Amino acid sequence: MKKFLFTLFSGLFIFASSYSQVIVMDIVQVKDGMNAQYEAVEKFAEPIKREAVKMGKQLGWYIMKRKSGGDLSELENKGIGDYIILNIFKDEAQMKSGMDWNAIAKKVYKGKMSSRSIEKKLETLGAPRKDTRSYTLENIYYTKPGQANRGETVYIFPAEALNDEYEKYEMEVFRPMWEKRILEGSHKYWGFNKITKRSDNAYKNLTHIIFNMPTDLKSNLKTDFTTQKAMDTGYKSRKGFDNAVCEIIFLADAYNN
């Protein structure tokens, strides 16, 4: 049955092996009562990151505020993240090249802040944070991206692969479904990523992260018998955890510079 389903669905897509994006995802918990201070830090960082994108240091940067979900206490109670940071790079080489925060900040804030004030700001960027868990993600596939906007909702779905067929199910069964929804206008973006590295304080069981961006339009797509059977088998290849529903509050990318 599994072999039949994979044969049937393999003709529905062309695997985009050229994708090589790397994403560094930070899950940030802030100290009690310091949300405003944290957001002030990221507001200061936003024009710096926009300049970094212009300079070719990275592809994008997004700060998202968690609105609901993201509870992984069934794995271990590390606390729920308050904010999610995404730093997106075209490849590993760009990620490793780094950026000179001090130099870029002084360029961006020239005539607006003194060099000493900028340096003091940079020295205290991490002050509102209580904890940061980091994951490095290798992009497996993403749908052709549209413009991300401040205020839009992003669903972050963490998963644990239960067998070697999991990625095939995501790519051959679930991906075409999301792309059909994008074509009808009920969905905006789907990104499938594999965790390749993590900080010592991060969750060990997680293997993949999926990003989804819905629209306000309700989907009218119907699932036929064969697709439903493939989906049912695909669900058994992974263990999904609580979606984090987030709102984009700051961003820097090619569309927003």
Delineate the domains of the chain, giving CATH numbers in brackets: 2-253 (3.30.70.100)
136 - beta bridge partners? Answer: 24, 197
Residue with tokens 């970094």: 52
Query: What is the full per-residue pLDDT of the chain (257 aa) written as tens digits?
Result: 444 343 333 333 333 334 489 999 999 999 999 999 999 999 999 999 999 999 999 999 999 999 999 999 999 999 999 999 999 999 999 999 999 999 999 999 999 999 999 999 999 999 999 999 999 999 999 997 667 899 999 999 999 999 999 999 999 999 999 999 999 999 999 999 999 999 999 999 999 999 999 999 999 999 999 999 999 999 999 999 999 999 999 999 988 76
Q: ∠ CA(138), CA(178), CA(67), 5° rounding?
A: 75
Which residue type sits at 197?
A: K
* Contacting residues for 160 by C-beta, under 8 A, at least 6 apart: 205, 206, 207, 208, 238, 239, 241
Q: b/e for 132-159, b at 16 or more Cβ within 10 A?
A: bbbbbbbbbbbbebeebeeebbbebbbb
Rounded distance, CA 241 to CA 27, Å?
Answer: 15
pLDDT value of residue 106: 97
pLDDT value of residue 4: 38
66, 82 Cβ separation under 8 angstroms: yes
The first and second tokens of residue 111, run together, are 């005539």
Rg over alpha carbons for the chain, rounded to the nearest Å, is: 20
Alpha helices in 64-185 (DSSP H): 92-97, 101-108, 115-123, 166-169, 175-184
* Contacting residues for 88 by C-beta, under 8 A, at least 6 apart: 21, 22, 23, 58, 59, 60, 61, 62, 253
pLDDT value of residue 257: 66
Local structure of residue 28 (DSSP, 8 states) = E
Burial class (CB in 10 A: 0-12, 13-18, 19+), 84: buried
Rounded distance, CA 133 to CA 204, Å?
Answer: 11
Helix (H, G, I), strand (E, B) or coil at 32: coil
Residues in the chain: 257
